[in-house]
Amino acid sequence: MNDAPPISVLADEAAYAEAVQLAVDASAAYYADGTSTLDDDAYDRLVRGIAAYELEHPDQVLATSPTGKVAGGAVVGDVPHLVPMLSLDNVFGADQLAEWAASLERRLGHPVTAWSVEPKLDGLAISARYRHGRLVQLVTRGDGTAGEDVSHAIGTVVGLPARLAEPVTVELRGEVMMTTAQFEQACAKRQAHDGTTFANPRSAAAGTLRAQDRPYVCELTFFGYGALPAPDDTSETATRLRAMPHSQVMAWVAGQGVQTTARTPVAGIVAAALAQVQERVEQIAAVRAELPFGIDGIVIKCDLAEDQAAAGSGSRAPRWAIAYKLPAVEKITKLLAVEWNTGRTGIIAPRAVLEPVRLDGSIVTYATLHNASDIARRGLMLGDSVVVYKAGDVIPRVEAPVVHLRTGDEQPIEIPAVCPSCGDQIDTSQERWRCVRGRACRAIASITYAAGRDQLDIEGLAESRIQQMLDAGLIGDFADLFFLTRDQLLGLERMGEVSSDNLLAAFERAKNQPLSRVFCALGVRGTGRSMSRRIARHFGSMDAIRAADAEAIQQVEGIGAEKAPVVVAELAEIGPLIDKLVAAGVNMTEPGAATAADPGETTGLPLAGMSVVVTGAMSGRLEALSRNEMNELIERAGGTASSSVSAKTSLLVAGEKAGSKRAKAESLGVRIASPEEFADLVAALL
């Protein structure tokens, strides 16, 4: 987070003039209804390129230039702000933050002893005016001196009460946005109405805030970030608010019943030193991907009112606050093609081929499209400009087409009529399409997965060897591996006596794997390593699992009413495969399952009743353990292994480069242990 993204280099005066017009047009669209020809990162690069050119050529600066202006100078409002509603200047890393802080402290003539650190919410700034405690008007930022009246949205914004706790006259400032859930609901309503979806939560919020004649209503969310009394207000409350540190102002705002970020993992804090500020910046950045709302940076400001007053403000931004921008997790690029691939269980999944774009620190050329129904819901076409989203380690996904950028040259996406792998028919009865041959369609992928380290762990069984066995007709599924003879293996090319004996020994060891690994090897749709362990420990035996109906399957933690029937149907479908495994002598019970199923019997185990999450690289006695083996260790110790940190998490085992999960655990007050401390805790089981 220490490097600013590159700027747009402008070669000459003509390129500069063209860039200015592009920036003004993009800004006008962005602040009008959330649409734009540029994503946020591209706009930032363009404006910084304009500023760099103007610094070199001050005699060529155009009056329409967006530099130094609120909203790029492209927005005009008709409702005057009592106090200017300014933007923020940006920094892009720790070094730039330190330079800005040093400059501010030189201006003040003393060190800043209290910094406020808050998330920069990715929405639209508005002013909410209350008279005697009642909400009477909503006004957008506009050009900073005047904005647009959007009071018709009163009543549709969560977190903005109709009445405050006190009958005060005050102007609350904050951000209107859509949460992830609200965005999904808004897209569903729009898709049902006209067959299109919103490009992203910000454009959806902008359009919704201004819409007055839509036949459907979309909910918005407000987070307050400040409170201002009228300049001529001499009441006791106004006087107190003007003298309060920003952190106390925010506590007062929350006390009035207005939503702030105080109850979120990215709550504002006060830091005494810049090192603490940077630490909080990194904590907020780490949990960004898991938030139910968008942020694009962190706001750092002087907390004390006297420092703010002494620093003052420029025409565009206050000098006492800065926005620490985070790398973009959303970009606009072109959808060039769609590839259709068949997975190991026969599921047919589309993949978007994109015009390469730098996103969240890496070059993205592919993104998930989920399924054919998802493509139809989003109204995607080849050649579309699309919003691509990525956060943290999440696989990039295509969010939606940017409909207003269509040229008319876009083409429909061709949906396959037969399986792209084997050419057989496709079962389209469920949302996720599947080849009618199921696992047999991609037998090599299914067998390779089953033999993997976290499943049966069959050492020495390479994919090339599996293909050789398939080509020779020796196997059709992974159960057939356990019936192979020494003579059959010796008959394969480049397979000697030692290699054959080693492989047969690996097959024998695999027969003794616990049920959880055997179940995972089956690759039942809707389950994975963690879910396989839960199912195995809940039922104890394969017979009990196969005898369970959907209601019984739902008793396993994490399996809901929608997934349970799929698991039951899948188990019935692969019944012959399970029967072959039983006939081969493969273990079908889970050691210690009866004990783990009864909480009363786990009281003597070190992790009894605890939900444990592992993150980062393990070290010491745990260094050789895979993540799956760590999770197995947790459950042998009486705990429940989980993949995500929540308020229900009892313990986080945090190794090197723990990242966002550690930051979230710290914000929730979850106990954190190093690999060495955890190894001591479960030493008897290692």
At 469, which CATH number?
Answer: 1.10.150.20
Angle 660-668/274-287 helices, nearest 10 degrees?
Answer: 110
Listed residue (180, 210, 375, 386) closest to 288, CA to CA: 180
CB 79 within 8 A of CB 41: no
d(CA 553, CA 544): 10
Q: How far apart are CA 301 and CA 684, in angstroms?
A: 51
Domain boundary among 458, 492, 511: 511
| Neighbour count for residue 280 (Cβ, 10 Å) | 22
Which pLDDT score is estimated for 72? 56
Tell me which residue of 182, 179, 141, 138 sits closest to 160, measured CA to CA.
138
Do 222 and 319 lie in one domain? The reply is: yes
185 within domain boundaries:
yes
pLDDT digits (tens, 9 = 90+) for 45-84: 888 889 889 889 988 988 888 886 666 555 556 889 988 9
Q: Of 279, 296, 325, which residue constitutes the final position of a domain?
A: 325
* 25 lies in the same domain as 95: no
- In tens, the pLDDT along 323-337 reads 999 887 888 899 999
User: Which one from 69, 120, 301, 664 is the annotated catalytic residue?
Assistant: 120
- Asked if 309 and 320 touch (Cβ cutoff 8 Å), the reply is no
Kindly state whether residues 58 and 90 are assigned to the same domain: no
> Do 653 and 680 belong to one domain?
yes
CA distance 566 to 579: 20
Long-range contacts formed by 397-401: CB under 8 A, 24+ apart: 397/367, 397/368, 397/369, 397/370, 398/335, 398/352, 398/354, 398/367, 398/368, 398/369, 399/199, 399/200, 399/330, 400/187, 400/197, 400/198, 400/199, 400/200, 401/196, 401/197, 401/199, 401/335
Show the domain range for 58: 13-73
535: in domain: no
Query: Looking at the structure, do residues 58 and 105 belong to the same domain, yes or no?
Result: no
What local confidence, expressed as pLDDT, does residue 665 receive? Answer: 86
Domain assignment present for residue 540? The answer is: no
Residue 141, CB-side half-sphere exposure with 13 Å CA sphere:
27
151-180 as b/e: b if 16+ CB within 10 A: eebeeebebbbeebeeebbbbbbbbbbbbe
Position 35 scores a pLDDT of 66
Question: Does one domain contain both 231 and 346?
Answer: no
In this structure, the answer to whether residues 454 and 398 fall within a common structural domain is no
pLDDT in the model for residue 328 = 79
Closest CA to 213 of 137, 130, 152, 169: 152
Residues 42 and 91 in one domain: no
pLDDT, position 599: 45
Exposed/middle/buried for 439, CB within 10 Å: 0-12, 13-18, 19+? Answer: buried
pLDDT given for residue 481 in this prediction: 96
**Whole-number pLDDT of residue 600:** 45
pLDDT score at 133: 94
Beta strands in 343-433 (DSSP E): 348-359, 362-368, 381-382, 385-389, 397-401, 411-412, 426-427
Distance of CA 149 to the CA centre of its chain: 33
- The DSSP element (H or E) to which 227 belongs, if any, is strand 220-228
Residue 31's pLDDT is 65
Q: Is 120 a catalytic residue?
A: yes
pTM above 0.75, yes or no: no
Q: Spell out the long-range contacts of 647-653 with Cβ–Cβ below 8 A and sequence spacing 24 or more.
A: 648/611, 649/611, 649/612, 649/613, 650/609, 650/610, 650/611, 650/612, 651/607, 651/610, 651/611, 651/612, 651/613, 651/678, 652/612, 652/613, 652/614, 652/615, 653/612, 653/613, 653/614, 653/615, 653/618, 653/678
User: Does 419 fall in a domain?
Assistant: no
Pair (253, 279) in one structural domain: yes
Residues of the chain with pLDDT under 70: 1-6, 31-37, 68-77, 361, 391-394, 593-603
Tally: H helices and E strands in the chain: 24, 25
Question: Which of 172, 111, 165 lies closest to 137, judged by CA?
Answer: 172
Amino acid at 534: R
Do 448 and 393 belong together in one domain?
Answer: no
**CATH number of the domain residue 274 falls in:** 3.30.470.30
* Residue 69 belongs to some domain of the structure: yes
Only one residue has tokens 């002494």, namely 310
- CATH code assigned at 358: 2.40.50.140
Residue 593 lies in a domain: no
Say yes or no: 88 and 22 in one domain.
no
Q: For the chain, state the CA radius of gyration.
A: 30
* CATH at 665: 3.40.50.10190
| CA dist., res. 238 & res. 342, Å (int) | 65
Q: Which residue is associated with the tokens 């993997």?
A: 452
Q: Are residues 319 and 334 in the same domain?
A: no
Counting the structural domains of the chain, the total is 5
- Which domain CATH number covers 40? 1.10.287
CA dist 222 and 159 (Å) reads 5
Determine contact, residues 218/182, Cβ cutoff 8 Å: yes
The answer to whether position 147 is within a domain reads: yes
Name the domain boundary from 511, 535, 568. 511
Q: Is residue 411 part of a domain?
A: no
